[in-house]
Chains A and B, each alone.
Chain A
Amino acid sequence: SQQGEEDPQALSIQEGENATMNCSYKTSINNLQWYRQNSGRGLVHLILIRSNEREKHSGRLRVTLDTSKKSSSLLITASRAADTASYFCATDARNRDDKIIFGKGTRLHILP
């Protein structure tokens, strides 16, 4: 019952560059969330964007949502070594609003 799917699966960039990850989903959603997971740890919530919003910012993070294309992107500007982690999008389950479904994630590696 996978809903969101991140792209690329893995991404390596130099420190200081911007990192962009994408999430595509199949059916209409109410909300979309982005989470970060450091290796071997629990997930940390980053941003929630509602279906009637197009863009949200939080510090160096920028999330966009295009409901016509059923896609979202997460941009991390001026990347740092500490940004090395896996990033997951999570959306409503199909026809259900009592739980969310996570994608498989993008593994981001920031090179020094």
Chain B
Amino acid sequence: DGGITQSPKYLFRKEGQNVTLSCEQNLNHDAMYWYRQDPGQGLRLIYYSQIVNDFQKGDIAEGYSVSREKKESFPLTVTSAQKNPTAFYLCASSMGSGSHYEQYFGPGTRLTVT
């Protein structure tokens, strides 16, 4: 069953703690993305990776970190430096990077920090 998975679906953390969100795909896609979505808003790009062992900052990278050690995996760490971490986080992948490739999305992780 091919697809992209994110875990967990809901995550609760105390302020000041780092937390890592998981994203795995078995679509053999080269490119992977992390987006943040706030209520009633569109998606904002946090980080993206076009190939293994390489990644670039998106529009709102401050307070986040990523790694891409394996093609299938692109975990996102929300650090204590992120001022407003409570949000819905979406991971996506595509065959290649660029606007001519459709992106496949995971089901999302809803993070609540109190």
Instruction: Give residues in A with beta carbon < 8 Å to B.
Output: 1-2, 29-33, 35, 40-45, 48, 50, 88, 90-92, 97-105, 107
A45 contacts which chain B residues (CB < 8 A)? 102-104
Q: List 25 A-B contacts (CB under 8 A).
A: A29-B99, A30-B100, A31-B99, A31-B100, A32-B99, A33-B99, A40-B88, A41-B107, A43-B105, A44-B105, A48-B100, A48-B102, A50-B100, A88-B43, A97-B99, A98-B48, A98-B50, A98-B98, A99-B97, A99-B99, A100-B99, A102-B35, A102-B42, A102-B43, A103-B42
Set of chain B residues within 8 Å of A102, measured between Cβ atoms: 35, 42-43
Cβ-defined partner of A42 (8 Å) among B48, B58, B97, B108: B108
**A6 to chain B: closest residue by CB:** B42
Q: In this assembly, does B41 line the interface, its C-beta being within 8 Å of a C-beta of chain A? A: yes
Q: Write the B93-114 contact mask toward A (1 if CB under 8 angstroms, else 0).
A: 0000111101111111010000
Cα distance, A99 to B98, chains bound together (Å)? 5
**Which residue of B is nearest A9, CB measured?**
B40
With both beta carbons as reference points, the residue of chain A lying nearest to B88 in the complex is identified as: A40
Q: Scoring B residues 40 to 64 as 1 if CB is less than 8 Å from chain A, else 0, what string do you get?
A: 1111010010100000101100000
Q: Does B90 contact A (CB under 8 A)?
A: yes
Query: In this assembly, does B33 line the interface, its C-beta being within 8 Å of a C-beta of chain A?
Result: yes
Task: Encode contact with A along B17-56: 1 for CB under 8 Å, 0 otherwise.
Answer: 0000000000000000101000011110100101000001
**Cα–Cα distance between A50 and B98 once the two chains are bound (Å):** 12
CB distance from B58 to the nearest CB of A (A): 7
Given the interface pairs A40-B108, A42-B108, A99-B33, the reply to whether A104 lies near B99 with Cβ below 8 Å is no
Residue of A at shortest CB range from B90? Answer: A42
Min C-beta distance of B107 to chain A, whole Å: 5
- B90 → chain A, closest Cβ, in Å? 6
List A contacts of B42 (CB < 8 A). Answer: 2, 88, 102-105
